[in-house]
Amino acid sequence: MDVTPMFRKSFAALGTECMVSTAPLLARSEALRYSLLLALQKYVQVARTPTTPSFPRPVGVTQDLSEFSPVIWHTADRILTHHLSRPVLRNVGRNLISGIMVEKGQQAAISQFHHAYGINPPGFLTISPGKTCNLRCTGCYANAGADSEKLDWKTFDRIIHEAKTLWGVRFIVISGGEPLAYRSEGKGVLDAAAKHPDVFFLMYTNGTLINETVANRLAALGNVTPAISVEGWRERTDERRGAGVYDKVLDAMSRLRRAGVPFGISLTATRHNVEEIFSEEFIDFFFEKQGALYGWLFHYMPIGRSFTLELMPTPEQRVWMWQRVWEIIRQRRIFLADFWNHGTLSDGCLASGRSDGGGYLYIDWNGAVSPCVFVPYSPANVRQVYAAGGTLNDVWKEPFFAGIRNWQATYRKGMGNWLAPCIIRDHHRDLRTLIAQHEPEPTDENARKALLDPEYARGMEEYDLAYQALSGLIWEKYYLQPREQAGGHGTPAPKDPI
């Protein structure tokens, strides 16, 4: 069925206002929520912009996508029960559902980019506008602290504007440093959200600067969701982030609930906390009692401050995490996305603005543009590109980024293991080959040290081989053949991984 853009916009606007006006009733009536979500599912199926991957998806990948779909709708149901502010509900309808799920970005800009370059633009962008942070966490990937390095407001604003107009982006991730500590010309990240209401922002934050004023402004804006970092229970969080931080996080969550702001949690799995953050008690506390609507799971990466390979989850732990997160998804229908183990949900690596869409680029406080937050090597600086009269398209065209995009396409088309999608951790030797070929600049001294350290390279490559040996068996058994024959995610992982 062909659905015109005009119909999409009209139907989405009408549906959004209906949802907003009946929100108190929807929160109380499960039957009404069910009817609304059923209609919404049908609308998304009929109206969404069709996309076809440029490569065949293995049968198990298609099954993963099918198994994760109910989680999205269960999360939508939870949103409707959480008494969110009216601006939030409007932006969920306008930006998340219509702009991202249905239209998949601003199609005019995407089509223009595709016409010019033959492939799709990045699907989103991650920006760290400032390095300043009020905490000094052990092993911080950004090495943030009491630093004054930052993007000036004009550059920060232009990046967002160009991401929309050149790439059709409707979703931007804000990281740091601490995003709420960023100030330039008297403006901060919430001012950027106010200026760009057609974009939905995900903000990674330590949560300690979310006071009543900030929570109320987030509720009034409606297009920013904070993902608050926790390391585990109080002892684990305070050990890494500082005494009293855990309690400040809970206070922030309480303020966000009262204001009607949707929030999630950001977890970093290390060798020492994987069982803790995946425990039923932990999941219950943050997703049910505290009201987190989603969770992003990151694995500790040996970059940034005091980097060490000893904190990475072991290959055996990583396999266990893959099994455990799918157990939570199937049984609890909780939106818990693993940045590495869910390569099957993202069609593999997202770095360098992937050629068939959905990928991203990362821009830091100095303007350095990298393939990914966790690949700290930059071939271009957006400040210099702008000074020379260029745009984000000129950044995207950098040969180093193109090399990674080509590597991704070759890996996926060759049915490479999507449980091992990461070019820096799962294919470290390939990344070093591309770095040697294109010579991007390390974004800080820690990245330079890692690049020059033969022991670091050896350790990363040994990790790759060990994990590939374990995950490769799973890939072949559970993804290259129908799940009914293979047994599914619930089949036991290798014995006693942790």
Band of residue 100 on the pLDDT scale cut at 50, 70, 90: low
Whether residue 389 has pLDDT greater than 70: yes
Residue 305 has a pLDDT of: 73
Query: Who wins on pLDDT, 262 or 22?
Result: 262
Q: So what's the pLDDT on residue 498? A: 35
CB atoms near residue 50 (< 10 Å): 5
Q: What is the 3-state secondary structure (H, E, C) of the chain?
A: CCCCHHHHHHHHHHHHHHHHHCHHHHHHCHHHHHHHHHHHHHHHHHHCCCCCCCCCCCHHHHHHHHHHHHHHHHHHHHHHHCCCCHHHHHHHHHHHHHHHHHCCCCHHHHHHHHHHHCCCCCCEEEECCECECCCCCCCCCCCCECCCCECCHHHHHHHHHHHHHHHCCCEEEECCCCHHHCCECCECHHHHHHHCCCCEEEEEECCCCCCHHHHHHHHHHCCEEEEEEECCCHHHHHHHHCCCHHHHHHHHHHHHHHHCCCCEEEEEECCCCHHHHCCHHHHHHHHHHCCCCCEEEEECCCCCCCCCHHHCCCHHHHHHHHHHHHHHHHHHCCCEEECCCCCCCCCCCCHHHCCCCCCEEEECCCCEEECECCECEECEEHHHHHHCCCCHHHHHCCHHHHHHHHHHHHHHHCCCCCCCCCCCCCCHHHHHHHHHHHCCEECCHHHHHHHHCHHHHHHHHHHHHHHHHHHHHHHHHHCCCCHHHHCCCCCCCCCCCC
Examine the pLDDT at 334 and tell me if it is beyond 60.
yes
Q: What pLDDT, on the 0 to 100 scale, is given for residue 181? A: 95
Which tens digit of pLDDT belongs to each residue from 437-450?
A: 999 999 999 999 99
pLDDT at position 358 = 84
Q: What is the reported pLDDT for 497?
A: 36
- Determine the pLDDT at residue 249: 97
Residue 493 to residue 315: CA distance in whole angstroms:
12
Confidence of residue 94 (pLDDT cuts 50, 70, 90): confident
pLDDT band at 54 (very low <50, low <70, confident <90, very high): low
Q: Cα–chain-centroid distance for residue 198?
A: 19
Position 491 scores a pLDDT of 45
Return the minimum-mean-pLDDT range out of 119-128, 232-241, 280-289: 232-241
477/484 Cα distance (integer angstroms): 11
- Mean pLDDT, residues 143-170 taken together: 89
Band (pLDDT 50/70/90 cuts) for residue 316 is very high
Average pLDDT over residues 106-128: 93
d(C-alpha 370, C-alpha 352), whole Å: 7
What mean pLDDT is predicted for residues 373-397?
Answer: 98
Instruction: Output the pLDDT for position 86.
Output: 85
Q: Residue 493: pLDDT above 50?
A: no
| Mean pLDDT, rounded, of the chain | 87
Q: Which of 87-96, 176-185, 334-343 has the lowest mean pLDDT?
A: 87-96
pLDDT class of 492 with cuts at 50, 70, 90 = very low
Q: CA angle, 330 as apex, 326 and 335 as ends, to 5°?
A: 75
Mean pLDDT of 315-325: 97
In the predicted model, is pLDDT for residue 402 greater than 70? yes
Between 41 and 379, the higher pLDDT residue:
379
- The better pLDDT of the pair 324, 26 is held by 324
Residue 406 has pLDDT above 70, yes or no: yes
What distance in Å separates the CA atoms of residue 433 and residue 438, rounded to the nearest whole number? Answer: 9
**Residue whose tokens read 């024959």:** 485
- Is the pLDDT score of 44 beyond 70? no
> How many residues can be counted in the chain?
498
Q: Interior CA angle at 412 toward 408 and 415, to 5°?
A: 150
Tell me: pLDDT of 26 over 80: no
- Please name which of 361, 381, 382, 364 lies closest in space to residue 372, comparing C-alpha atoms: 361
Residue 56, pLDDT score: 82
Sheet holding 264-269, edge to edge: 336-338, 295-299, 264-269, 224-230, 200-205, 171-174, 124-127, 360-363, 368-370, 380-381
